[in-house]
Chains A and B, each alone.
Chain A
Amino acid sequence: MTLASFVIKNALRNRRRALLTVISVAVSCGLLVTLLTLERELTIPPESEAASLRIIARNKVSLAQPLPAKQLAVIDKIPGVVAVSPFTFFGGNFREETVTSFAQFAVDPARFKGLMVEGRIAEGSYDDFVADRTSCFVGADTMKRYGLKIGDRMRFSGTFYPVDPDLKIAAVFQGTVDDRGVFFHHKLLDELMGNPGTVGTWYMRVASAETSNDVIARVNAAFANTSAEVRAETERAFQMGFISMLGNVKLLIGSVSTVVVFTLMLVTVSTMSMAVRERFRELAVLKALGFRRRELFSFILAESFGLALAGGMLGIFGAWAIWTGIDLQKLTKGFLLYFEVTPRIMATGGVVAALLGIVASISPSIAMARISVVQGLKTLD
């Protein structure tokens, strides 16, 4: 027998309790990892750098109110605006689908090119997209998801707009924060709608992130006191606005995670306290045999640490396996895009589990150190 096998035998002496402890730590750690992954997922897009180089101007009254197309001439003259394109959310359902599972936007292809900061053309040619009024420009993820290829047709039935554009895929983009969207000619939308002379929003690019505030102020000022006042903001702020509609996700996830960790701690601490308390007498015997506090402390720590870490590993790698194995993009109809359990998140889970093991051993160790051999021998005697 070695000291290590002694610790293991002690840890497994109550098999059911050891198993329940490991499982509860595993479930909580898995949940924690999932929450952290969800938080990352929901906050990635706003953290893209290019998003702070782009500005979206919408109708000040509401996002649903269109803007006059003739504003373009004014925006073109505003200093600091490098590129601008109409940007109208179409929101159609693809083929027979009954929900909008990815976004479609009507843009001016020639102008829109200047707004593509990140990403690249993966297939086809952008010039073909510019040249053909009925063509579209599609994200690689959507191509893959529906098994599409260049030249295939994409038919959408409008939900906001009572028209059903039928588009031919001319080019594919890849490497943006969201490779799902479909872009098509604003001219086509205008024609189908009988040339109403409106756009949804204006999409602009500035030269550097530092100038974006000035440009925003100028855009807002240019249409102040007109019949269609605008509200311009960075794409990042615009997306943040979307996310904040879901409530303050970061705060929510943060508090749920705290509760999970706290509950986890209570479970482990109480298990360890119980495991040590029912062994007071044995600990007293070990003390009589010559084991010192520091040895008994390392037994308790090793046991607690071992159980917490076993549970932690199980939960963390379990969560990783689940979220890596499941096609969440398909399952959530594209709401969850990557849901990547990063090494950093896994490490966070591991650190939490390790700390837990240490914290849970503190109170039993203090109790163990306090009790004298004679007192300990008297317990349950």
Chain B
Amino acid sequence: MAAEPIVVIRELTKTYLQGDLNVTALNGVSLDILPGEFVVLMGPSGSGKSTLLHIIAGIDRPTSGSAVVQGINIAGLNESQLAEWRNQNVGFVFQSFNLIPVLTAAENVELPLLLTDLDSKERRRQVATALELVGLADRGHHRPDQLSGGQQQRAAIARALVTDPALIVADEPTGNLDAKSAGDVLTILQSLSRNAGKTVIMVTHDPKSAAFGSRSLHLEKGEITP
């Protein structure tokens, strides 16, 4: 059964005006990603990896070209539609965890659910499931500063998957972690794509991390190179 691609990108460009200078971050990128793939984006600094990821995830807009995710041309959505779309379809994992410091791990994981219609009992159940999945079932009531870096990043992954999105994007998720914690995080992301059917797109500089993916793409000066 040939699955429909979940991400369809055609001739995507992104340019920034820096002073009088036009900086090209993406230069005519075309790309299909299938559901359940674990795509790894690699390439030198400044090659446009983050920019591509941001556009696919709906937090940045392309200068030209189209990005269709799950059949929706996301460039055609307005700010508030895009926000709602992100809430339902995308989970974010950042290099620096980005948990809210005044909230416990469980409360951080619950945040995206506050925008849904779920009642508090149902929310708590989903939070527990997500924390269980990343092996933090017993750390829910800890605040971020009471967790190790690896635990914080796992909490962030729980937050990314608690709404059950089809797409998970991760920008250098292991960049701030030691080898052991990095391995844990990568294993979780891999199992999300293999066992839960999530599509994972990850940016990394580390070839060892890239080995966890199902496909690697190389970006160079805003273009995908073979």
Question: Is the CB–CB distance between A286 and B59 below 8 Å?
Answer: no
Q: Which positions 285-329 of chain A face chain B at CB distance < 8 Å?
A: 285-295
Question: Does A377 interact with chain B (Cβ within 8 Å)?
Answer: yes
With CB as the reference atom, state the residue of chain A lying closest to B127. Answer: A1
* Cβ A373 vs Cβ B98 within 8 A: no
* Cross-chain contact of B83 among A1, A2, A290 (Cβ < 8 A): A290
Identify the closest chain B residue to A8 (Cβ). B102
Cα(A165)–Cα(B10), bound, Å: 107
Stretch at the interface among B67-75, B108-116, B205-213: B108-116
Chain A hits for B84, CB < 8 A = 290, 292
Choose the segment among B40-48, B85-93, B190-198, B214-222 that binds chain A (4+ C-beta atoms closer than 8 Å): B85-93
In the complex, B103 has a CB within 8 A of chain A: yes
Contact with B along A1-25 (1 / 0, CB 8 A): 1110010011001000000000000
Asked whether A282 lies within 8 Å of B100 as measured between CB atoms, the reply is: yes
Judge whether A381 is part of the interface by a CB distance below 8 angstroms: yes
Q: Which of B60, B103, B115, B159 contacts A291 (CB 8 A)?
A: B115
Residues of chain B within 8 A of A255, CB atoms compared: none
In the complex, the answer to whether B110 meets A290 with C-beta atoms within 8 Å is: no
B54: Cβ under 8 A from any A Cβ: yes
CB distance from B25 to the nearest CB of A (A): 11
Given A372-B60, A373-B60, A374-B54, are A289 and B100 also a contact pair (CB < 8 Å)? no
Does the CB pair B60–A1 fall under 8 Å? no
Which residues of chain A have C-beta atoms less than 8 A from B76's C-beta?
none
Q: Does A168 contact B (CB under 8 A)?
A: no
Contact indicator B86/A289 (Cβ below 8 Å): yes
For A5, give the chain B residue with the smallest CB separation. B107
Chain B residues lying within 8 Å of A373, measured Cβ to Cβ, are 54, 59-60
B14 to chain A, nearest CB (A): 11
- Top 7 A-B pairs ranked by shortest CB distance? A290-B87, A373-B59, A292-B83, A13-B102, A285-B98, A289-B112, A1-B107
With A13-B101, A381-B96 as given contacts, are A288 and B80 in contact (CB-CB < 8 Å)? no
Q: Are B86 and A290 in contact (CB under 8 A)?
A: yes
**Once the chains are docked, how many angstroms separate the CA of A214 from the CA of B111?**
77
Kindly list chain A residues whose C-beta atoms are within 8 Å of the C-beta of B122. none
Q: In the docked arrangement, what's the CA distance between A1 and B102, Å? A: 12
Inter-chain CA distance A295–B110, complex, in Å, is 16
Given contacts A288-B59, A290-B84, A290-B87, is CB(A9)–CB(B102) below 8 Å?
Answer: yes
Q: Given contact pairs A6-B103, A13-B102, A373-B59, enumerate 8 new A-B contacts (beta carbons under 8 Å).
A: A2-B114, A3-B114, A290-B83, A290-B86, A294-B80, A372-B59, A374-B60, A377-B94
A to B contact number (C-beta, < 8 Å): 65
A-B contact pairs, 20 of them (CB 8 A): A1-B103, A2-B114, A6-B103, A6-B114, A9-B102, A282-B98, A286-B111, A287-B83, A288-B59, A289-B87, A289-B111, A290-B83, A290-B84, A290-B115, A291-B115, A292-B84, A373-B54, A373-B60, A374-B54, A374-B60
* Option from B79, B92, B98, B111 in Cβ contact (under 8 Å) with A292: B79
Contacts of A285 in B (CB 8 A): 92, 94, 98, 100
Chain B nearest CB, measured from A317 CB (Å): 29
Which A residues have a C-beta under 8 Å from some C-beta of B?
1-3, 6, 9-10, 13, 281-282, 285-295, 372-374, 377, 381
Q: Which residue of A lies closest to B80 (CB)?
A: A292
The complex places the Cα of A302 from the Cα of B83 at a distance, in Å, of 21
Closest B residue to A369 by CB, please name it: B79
Instruction: Give the bracket for the number of chain B residues in contact with chain A.
Output: 20 to 34
Least CB separation from B160: chain A residue: A289
**Residues on A with beta carbons closer than 8 Å to the beta carbon of B115:** 289-291, 295
Q: Which of B92, B96, B100, B120 contacts A288 (CB 8 A)?
A: B92
Q: How far is the CA of A9 from the CA of B101 in the complex (A)?
A: 10
| B80 & A293 in contact (Cβ 8 Å cutoff) | yes
Minimum Cβ distance to chain A for residue B153 (Å): 14
The answer to whether A1 touches B114 (Cβ under 8 A) is: yes
**Chain A contacts of B120 at CB under 8 A?**
2
B104's nearest neighbour on chain A, judged by CB, is A1
C-alpha spacing A16/B70, complex, angstroms:
47
- For A1, A290, A291, which residue has the most chain B Cβ atoms within 10 angstroms? A290
Task: Knowing A1-B114, A372-B60 are in contact, say whether A10-B102 is a contact too (CB < 8 A).
Answer: yes
Instruction: Report the Cα distance A295→B102, complex, angstroms.
Output: 19
Report Cα–Cα, A290/B54, bound state, in Å: 14
Contact A288 B110 (CB under 8 A): no
Neighbouring A residues of B107 by C-beta, 8 Å: 1, 6
The chain A residue with its CB closest to the CB of B171 is: A377
Minimum C-beta distance from B151 to chain A (A): 18
Chain A nearest CB, measured from B130 CB (Å): 14
Hey, which chain A residues are within 8 Å of B96, CB to CB? 381
Nearest Cβ on chain B to A18's Cβ, whole angstroms: 12
Q: Which of A1, A13, A281, A287 contacts B110 (CB 8 A)?
A: A1
Closest CB of chain A to B97's CB: distance in Å?
Answer: 10
In the assembly, what is the distance between CA of A288 and CA of B79, in Å?
11
Name B120's closest neighbour in chain A (CB-CB).
A2
Determine the distance from Cα of A295 to Cα of B79 in the docked complex, in whole angstroms: 13
- Contact partners of B83 in chain A: CB under 8 A: 287, 290-292
Q: In the complex, A381→B176 CA distance in Å? A: 12
Closest beta carbon of chain A to B24's beta carbon, Å: 17
> How far is it, in angstroms, between the C-alpha of A377 and the C-alpha of B60 when the chains are bound?
12
Select the residue from A10, A289, A294, A295 with max chain B CB neighbours within 10 A. Answer: A289
